[in-house]
């Protein structure tokens, strides 16, 4: 596979193949795990504010449900592709398995530019999607969640549409909902917080002092901005660079979360933040920092720039930010990667907590959510690290080995292969 025009699903399959070889996986199980069990392609006519009708394409992929109902976000993105959704559904399968929650992996998406849609158009698009995929989702089938350019409000509309179709409240069909509609405390920063628990454990193993350590955050959306907040709050780290889709900023003296977040909220970008120097996303990745947080989209660290990565630890809050070729280079160079489907599994873990709370209609306080998330993430981190050390493999391969072994065991016990 070349680095040119990386296909995320080919990347996901290559990562699976490598782990299957290490595990000496049964050939039939290996073949079964290389492709989704089912996927639905939908066409969505939506009435626009000007009275015209626009046609959108959408997808829902249920990759594997051997361990339980599928779970995974819904993306609204202008460059969405079925192969991206397939890859993300595969990664969700491994993510749920690596943190040992009883769910499989799914993912959904709509090809659209939500930045160009009004609130009314977004609502009609969201409801149209549920009318089409509603037949294959539900608390005991497949529970979607927010992802890139989707929000708690969009989840609320989707839950409401599904409830209308079923004739009763169905809060558990969707997670990441607003608190008054069955959302869970702690869901907002769960992805970043889960990554921070992993970072704490990695830093302890590597003897990296996090208080005063430098960090760079590539991507300043939900996960990236919360990573900034928590790095300061939990560890006293100094974030010296952040970026968004329009560029990055750098200040060797550090930049405070509250100030950067306020500036981004007011201006719509981080570029131009007072006292900072503008840098590109590419330059940010190669800064000499202790911790790198890739928190944007896929395939930003490849064979072409991996040799230039200087961070001691890379906490992958984004999905698929590092190519297979880059993994090997970083491992050889001593960069400790906390791989995406471990580092960012806090989101799906608290989404699972939300499903549990919806199912028995009793809700936990924030402290309980944080304690249970910490326990899950810490246990998962050490299971992966133990496999890494025992088999002398890089962290992503170790995480795949832990996850795939668990899914393969369920497939075998169920008699599928």
Measured distance CA(4)–CA(405) in Å, rounded: 31
Burial classification of residue 141, based on how many CB atoms lie within 10 Å of its CB (0-12 exposed, 13-18 middle, 19 or more buried): middle
68: alpha, beta or left? (left if phi > 0; alpha if psi -120 to 50): left
Measured distance CA(314)–CA(57) in Å, rounded: 35
Per-residue pLDDT tens for 251-309?
999 999 999 999 999 999 999 999 999 999 899 999 999 999 999 877 789 999 999 99
Q: Could you give the residue range(s) of every CATH 3.40.50.720 domain in the chain?
A: 190-343
Per-residue pLDDT tens for 9-47?
998 898 899 999 999 999 999 999 999 999 999 999 999
Q: What is the mean pLDDT of residues 364-377?
A: 98
- For 201, 277, 287, the CA distances from 264, given in Å and listed in that order, are 31, 15, 22
Non-local CB neighbours of 177 within 8 Å, separated by 6+ positions: 152, 155, 156, 159, 171, 183, 354
The whole-number pLDDT of residue 297 equals 73
Measured distance CA(56)–CA(111) in Å, rounded: 6
Measured distance CA(150)–CA(157) in Å, rounded: 11
Per-residue pLDDT tens for 171-192?
999 999 999 999 999 999 999 9
CB 70 within 8 A of CB 103: yes
Per-residue pLDDT tens for 212-243?
999 999 999 889 999 999 999 999 999 999 99
CB 373 within 8 A of CB 350: yes
Measured distance CA(85)–CA(70) in Å, rounded: 14
The whole-number pLDDT of residue 5 equals 58
CB 298 within 8 A of CB 219: no
pTM metric for this prediction: 0.92
Q: Could you give the residue range(s) of every CATH 3.40.50.10860 domain in the chain?
A: 36-171
Catalytic residue among 71, 107, 177, 238: 107
Measured distance CA(203)–CA(310) in Å, rounded: 16
Check whether domain 36-171 has CATH 3.40.50.10860, yes or no: yes
Q: Examine the pLDDT at 2 and tell me if it is beyond 60.
A: no
CA-based radius of gyration for the chain: 20
Check if 107 is active-site.
yes
Burial letters for 146-160: b for 16+ Cβ neighbours within 10 Å, e otherwise? bbbbbbbebbbbbbb
Measured distance CA(417)–CA(317) in Å, rounded: 33
Q: Write out the two tokens for 128.
A: 């149209």
Measured distance CA(128)–CA(107) in Å, rounded: 17
Count other C-beta atoms under 10 Å from residue 250's C-beta: 18
**Which residue(s) pair with 64 in the sheet?**
105
343: alpha, beta or left? (left if phi > 0; alpha if psi -120 to 50): alpha
The whole-number pLDDT of residue 1 equals 46
Three-state secondary-structure class, residue 36: coil
Which sign does the torsion angle of CA 247, 188, 164, 42 carry? Answer: positive
Across the chain, mean pLDDT equals 95
- For 190-343, which CATH class? alpha beta
């Amino acid at each position: 596979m070349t680095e040119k025009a990386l296909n995320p699903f080919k990347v996901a399959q290559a990562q699976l193949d490598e782990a299957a070889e290490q595990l000496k996986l049964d050939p039939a199980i290996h073949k079964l795990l290389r492709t989704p069990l089912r996927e639905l392609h939908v066409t969505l006519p939506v009435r626009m504010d000007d009275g015209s009708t626009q046609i959108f394409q959408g997808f829902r992929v249920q990759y594997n449900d051997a361990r339980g109902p599928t779970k995974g976000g819904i993306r609204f993105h202008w460059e969405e592709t079925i192969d991206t959704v397939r890859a993300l559904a595969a990664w969700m399968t491994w993510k749920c398995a690596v943190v040992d929650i009883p769910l499989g992996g799914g993912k959904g998406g709509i090809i659209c530019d939500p930045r160009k849609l009004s609130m009314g158009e977004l609502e009609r698009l969201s409801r149209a999607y549920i009318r089409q995929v509603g037949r294959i989702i539900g608390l005991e089938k497949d529970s979607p969640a927010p992802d890139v350019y989707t929000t708690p409000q969009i989840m609320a509309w989707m839950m409401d549409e599904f409830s209308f179709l079923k004739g009763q409240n169905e809060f558990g069909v969707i997670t990441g909902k607003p608190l008054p509609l069955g959302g869970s405390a702690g869901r907002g920063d769960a992805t970043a917080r889960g990554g921070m628990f992993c970072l704490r454990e990695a830093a302890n193993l590597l003897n990296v002092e996090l208080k005063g350590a430098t960090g760079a955050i590539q991507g300043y959306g939900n996960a990236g901005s919360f990573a900034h907040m928590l790095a300061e709050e939990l560890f006293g780290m100094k974030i010296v660079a952040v970026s968004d889709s329009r560029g990055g900023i750098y200040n060797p003296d550090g930049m405070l979360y509250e100030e950067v977040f306020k500036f981004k909220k007011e201006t719509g970008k981080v570029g131009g933040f007072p006292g900072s120097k503008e840098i590109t996303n590419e330059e940010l990745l190669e800064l000499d920092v202790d911790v790198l947080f890739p928190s944007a989209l896929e395939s930003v660290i490849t064979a072409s720039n991996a040799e230039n990565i200087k961070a001691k630890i890379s906490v992958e809050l984004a999905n698929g930010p590092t190519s297979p070729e880059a993994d090997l280079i970083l491992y050889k160079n001593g960069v400790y990667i906390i791989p995406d489907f471990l580092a960012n599994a806090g989101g799906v873990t608290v989404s699972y907590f939300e499903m549990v709370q919806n199912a028995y209609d009793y809700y936990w306080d924030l402290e309980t959510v944080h304690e249970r998330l910490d326990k899950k993430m810490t246990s998962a981190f050490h299971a992966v690290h133990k496999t890494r050390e025992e088999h002398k493999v890089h962290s992503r391969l170790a995480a795949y080995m832990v996850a795939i072994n668990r899914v393969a065991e369920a497939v075998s016990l169920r008699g599928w292969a």
